[in-house]
Structure 1
Amino acid sequence: MHGIESPVAVQAAVQLDEVTKRHGRGKAAVDALRGVSVELPSGSFTAVMGPSGSGKSTFLHCAAGLDRPTSGRVLLEGADLSGVREAGLTRLRRDRIGFVFQSFNLVPSLTARQNIVLPHRLARRRADKAWVAEVVERVGLTGRLDHRPGELSGGQQQRVAIARALAAKPAVVFADEPTGALDLSTGRDILALLRATVDAWRQTLVMVTHDPAAAAFADRVLFLADGRIVDAMDRPGVADIADRMTTLGA
């Protein structure tokens, strides 16, 4: 396989193999991703960065099974997603993938507790109460579970979203600008929390961000430009990331 490979020989939670994603047809066609190959190791924290229009969102959507590549393969824990029908993909996203978005995506009429276990209710299966309790304690929501989103701060709402993502014990959590709607201090708390889930539980985490300070929490930073992975850094500092982004034209 060509491309940026994982720095250690650990099973890949997610693997992209020559993935291309084309939008439009004919002369108007645009390749958002161009032959991307990468392994995201299990139990690691990967940040994905790049200038606007570099393909970050498309990378996340293809890797998470939200969008199908035009060509190439995406594998989740070794299973090829290309042959999975839409209903199967929906189940897989619900059972094996967690999502954390900038906009929290909570149901306003439900309490924090109800939001956290909502995916289990939709799947008509029981939540592991002991695990949910451990997650709630880890994310710092004890005592806030009966509050609705409108009664919580932005940071607390994002903690609910993170707890919801972790409650199903996913193979991988995808975070799309998870601190974009938060103030600096709260954002750092959330990033430290995400880092802790990787260190304590070996949770696999993939985060798209434009913020070098956020990316510095990751084990590895991938840099996208014009739909290709053009560089990767292992445990870089904020200044190193910022310098690399400058050379990419960010």
Structure 2
Amino acid sequence: MNPVVQLADVRRSYGGKRNRVTALDGVSAGFARATFTAVMGPSGSGKSTFLHCAAGLDRPTSGTVTLEDQDLGALSEVELTRLRRDRVGFVFQAFNLMPALTVQDNITLPLRLARRRANPKLVAQVIDQVGLGERRKHLPAQLSGGQQQRVAIARALVTRPAVLFADEPTGALDTRTARDVLGLLRRSVGEAGQTVVMVTHDPVAASYADRVVFLADGRLVGELLAPTAEAVAERMTHLGAWAERTAAGAH
């Protein structure tokens, strides 16, 4: 099966010749349909750049990113914006909800922006899927942090995206609420066939994924299948020590 998202030898550098920083250094990775992948690595390993390039928010310096066999590098800014709006869902640590809109209106906002008719049945299904059926008329200020993040996930799912990218989605939540949100992402993969790629620094969050890919110094340096929190934590400890050693060696 073709991956939904494929990165091939992706490099991303910033700055000029003298102060060039290489955030991604020849990364190749694929994400199959209906899978949940966590992306981990020490601070400064290139996780956010990886996510931004994979999602078409940032253009690689070289290499290719394809989404459903569409080469993102071949698209104009307008085409890329349209593709992100129609085929990509985003969930961030900050919930980014519109305070004056109800739960339901926040969730259907991407459809309105795309001038697409909201299918009432589908909207109701997504709202129930995230457990907010009783709160559809509430404003964000009337919700807990976990409920607000569920609104953000529903908003990402309502367009039925090819892939949902999540950047530290549980970073602002307490442990129990984080478990609820991760369980919701897990179910969207298992029950709705959603593809999820999540950047996280939390081994427990990563244990909800089917696999974890590890980045260090802008390179992919390994992966774990059927990860446990303990195995992820151990791998991260080794990576942290390795990153410190290579940094010391570079000085």
Tell me the TM-score normalized by structure 1: 0.95
Aligned equivalents of 2:208 and 2:12: distance in 1?
Answer: 28
Taking the aligned partners of 1:11 and 1:142, their CA distance within structure 2 comes to 35
Q: Note the 1:54-93 alignment, pairs <5 A.
A: 54-93=45-84
Partner Cα distance (1:18, 1:28) in 2:
22
Q: What's 1:159 paired with?
A: 150
CA distance in structure 2 between the partners assigned to 1:112 and 1:85 by the alignment: 33
Paired with 2:66 and 2:87, the residues of 1 have a C-alpha distance of: 12
Write out the 4+ residue segments of structure 1 that deviate beyond 2 Å after TM superposition: none
1:70 & 1:187 partners in 2: Cα distance?
Answer: 35
Aligned-partner Cα distance in 1 for 2:107–2:179: 22
- Which digits, 9 at most, give the CA deviation of each residue in 1:1-50, with x for residues without a partner? xxxxxxxxx32010000000001011200110000001111110000000
Which residue of 136, 149, 153 maps to 1:145? 136
Instruction: Identify, as 1 or 2, the structure richer in helix.
Output: 2
Q: In the aligned structure 1, how far is the partner of 2:98 from the partner of 2:58?
A: 24
Supply the RMSD in Å over aligned alpha carbons: 0.8
Q: What's 1:23 paired with?
A: 14
Deviation of 1:82 after TM superposition, in Å, equals: 0.3
Q: Show the counterpart of 1:201.
A: 192
Residue 119 of structure 2 aligns with an amino acid whose one-letter code is D
- Deviation per CA, 1:62-87: give whole Å up to 9, x if none: 00000000000000011100010001
Give percent identity, aligned residues only: 62
SS for the counterpart of 1:27 is coil
1:36 matches 2:27: yes
Corresponding residue number in structure 1 for 2:244: none
Counterparts of 1:224 and 1:104, CA distance in 2: 26
Aligned to 2:123: 132
Mapped partners of 1:134, 1:233: distance in 2: 33
Q: Is residue 2:86 matched to residue 1:95?
A: yes
Q: Distance in 1 between matches of 2:66 and 2:194?
A: 17
Residue from 216, 229, 238 that aligns with 1:247: 238
Q: 2:159 aligns with which of 151, 168, 182?
A: 168
Q: 2:218 aligns with which of 208, 211, 227?
A: 227
Q: Which runs of 5+ in 1 are unaligned?
A: 1-9
Alpha-carbon distance in 2 for matches of 1:13, 1:46: 12
Secondary structure of the 1:140 match is: coil
